[in-house]
């Protein structure tokens, strides 16, 4: 097939996936006002899942249309289509519960379309194995790819034949549990393949891997943030009196969406190579302000809890004074703490850049005071050698060719 035909096919698959998600959203909206039975996935959680799935086919369409010969974009298209089918099956089955008799064959349709979840699970290892070139890191990774493909095929067949094979028991249940374990193991091993690829990569490919690693770390931090928000809600509710369950749940849903969006964005930027070389600055700023945020949050909650406890012991009741004092402390600590964290991160993770900045700072001080041209030339060559580290350095000074004025009458 020509590149143009492949591009059309990529956008057709993207459109098909979005068309599958459309009825899912419609069913969610129609059933939103009717509560689901206990144990069923709430409408709100289904909406969050749907929002997260939308990015997969769009990302696959962008990559496959720009690089149709790179198999990585097609993996994303298949992954997104599998998730979309599973989402439609879940919404279809849920709506059939709240409006019995309105949908045809809900059990059969949800069971068949639900196989999309197993297809997406089977493709998940290849999202790491084939990044970013569309090829395996080396021939040594072929067994992992074959094991992933065979395990995915087996779990699809088992789910199709037995619906819930892990609940069947006996040999079938043990086989299903073993296959699922193997798939998740291959996903973990495939993620490690990025480290091996990074060690051998250079130039653009290394920057691409940095983008994905950056997005993955942010995604993991969002998951940790969910638990921290939940814990902070409990602490504030205990200290101030009250509860924040609805706020916690809303923030968790937003963090779920942010988790997925960051990962999609990281992969998309890496593959499409947009402003790749800004990643080092972005990582630096993320480390600085991430550490700053965590430190200030600890100071704030620690100050609120400590002062509230102290005031309760002295006066027998709490006071808003603890919150005001903690807020003022954060305002006073922001700039000094940011400078210290920036300096620590530059020294620890960007040592060469830190040494270069210090060398230029020292040279700028000498430049203001030095009057000997020969000494200044020597200092300048030394600074260039230490910072740029070229193979050869030479300094050429333009002679003074300005015409000399003659004697005036």
Greatest mean pLDDT among 37-41, 91-95, 242-246, 304-308 lies in 91-95
What pTM was computed for the model?
0.65
pLDDT digits (tens, 9 = 90+) for 172-183: 778 888 888 898
Listed in sequence order, the residues at least 6 apart from 191 whose beta carbon sits closer than 8 Å to its beta carbon are 128
Spatial distance between the Cα atoms of 300 and 316, rounded to a whole number of angstroms: 22
Mind listing the pLDDT tens digit for each residue in 19-72?
999 999 999 999 888 888 877 778 887 887 888 888 889 888 988 888 888 888
The two most distant CA atoms of the chain are separated, in Å, by 117
Percentage of the residues of the chain whose pLDDT score is greater than 70 = 57
Angle at CA of residue 357, ends 353 and 360, nearest 5° = 135
Please give the DSSP secondary-structure letter assigned to residue 181. H
**In whole angstroms, how far apart are CA 142 and each of 119, 129, 138?**
20, 10, 8
Inter-axis angle of helices 204-240 and 170-200, to 10 degrees? 120
State the sign of the Cα–Cα–Cα–Cα dihedral 119, 124, 126, 130.
positive
Ranges 17-26, 82-91, 116-125, 290-299: which has the least confidence: 290-299
pLDDT at 47: 84
Q: Which residue has the higher pLDDT, 49 or 364?
A: 49
Residue closest to 166 by CA, chosen among 149, 178, 153? 178
Sorted by where each begins, the domain ranges of the chain are: 1-113, 124-200, 288-349, 354-387
Average pLDDT taken over every residue of the chain: 75
- Provide the pLDDT for residue 245: 45
pLDDT attached to residue 289 = 61
What pLDDT shows up at residue 18? 92
Average pLDDT over residues 185-194: 87
Is the pLDDT assigned to residue 102 strictly greater than 60? yes
C-alpha atoms less than 13 angstroms from C-alpha of 188 in its C-beta half-sphere: 6
Work out the pLDDT band at 244, boundaries 50, 70, 90. very low
CA dist 252 and 230 (Å) reads 9
Confidence band of 10 (pLDDT split at 50, 70, 90): very high
Can you give the pLDDT at residue 253? 59
Res 62: pLDDT: 86
pLDDT-derived band at 276, boundaries 50, 70, 90: very low
Q: How many whole angstroms separate alpha carbon 9 and alpha carbon 276?
A: 28
């Amino acid at each position: 097939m020509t590149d143009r035909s492949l591009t059309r096919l990529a956008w057709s698959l993207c459109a098909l996936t979005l068309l599958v998600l459309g009825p899912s959203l419609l069913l969610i909206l129609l059933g939103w006002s009717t509560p689901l039975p206990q144990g069923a996935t709430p409408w709100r959680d289904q909406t969050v899942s749907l929002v997260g799935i939308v990015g997969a086919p769009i990302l696959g369409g962008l990559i496959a249309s720009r690089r149709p010969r790179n198999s990585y974009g097609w993996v994303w298209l298949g992954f997104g289509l599998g998730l979309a089918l599973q989402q439609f099956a879940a919404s279809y089955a849920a709506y059939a519960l709240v409006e019995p008799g309105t949908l045809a064959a809900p059990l059969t349709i949800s069971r068949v379309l639900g196989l999309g979840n197993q297809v997406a699970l089977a493709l998940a290892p290849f999202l790491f194995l084939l990044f970013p070139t569309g090829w395996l890191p080396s021939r040594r990774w072929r067994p992992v790819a074959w094991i992933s493909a065979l395990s995915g095929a087996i779990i699809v067949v088992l789910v199709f034949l037995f619906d819930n094979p892990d609940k069947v028991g006996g040999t079938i249940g043990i086989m299903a549990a073993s296959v699922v374990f193997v798939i998740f193991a291959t996903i973990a091993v495939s993620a490690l393949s990025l480290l091996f690829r990074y060690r051998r990569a250079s130039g653009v490919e290394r920057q691409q891997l940095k983008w994905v690693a950056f997005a993955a770390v942010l995604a993991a931090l969002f998951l940790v943030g969910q638990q921290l928000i939940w814990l902070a809600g409990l602490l504030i509710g205990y200290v101030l009196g009250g509860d924040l369950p609805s706020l916690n749940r809303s923030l968790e849903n937003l963090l779920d969406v942010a988790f997925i969006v960051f990962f999609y964005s990281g992969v998309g930027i890496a593959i499409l190579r947009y402003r790749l070389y800004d990643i080092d600055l972005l990582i630096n700023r993320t480390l600085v302000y991430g550490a700053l945020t965590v430190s200030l949050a600890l100071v704030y909650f620690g100050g609120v809890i400590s002062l509230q406890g102290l005031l309760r012991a002295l006066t027998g009741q709490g006071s808003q004074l603890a919150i005001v004092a903690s807020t003022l402390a954060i305002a006073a600590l922001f700039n000094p703490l940011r400078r210290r964290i920036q300096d620590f991160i530059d020294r620890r993770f960007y040592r060469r850049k830190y040494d270069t900045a210090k060398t230029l700072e020292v040279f700028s001080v000498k430049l203001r005071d030095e009057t000997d041209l020969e000494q200044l030339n020597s200092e300048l060559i030394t600074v260039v050698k230490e910072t740029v580290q070229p193979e050869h350095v030479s300094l050429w000074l333009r002679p003074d060719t300005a015409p000399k004025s003659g004697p005036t009458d």
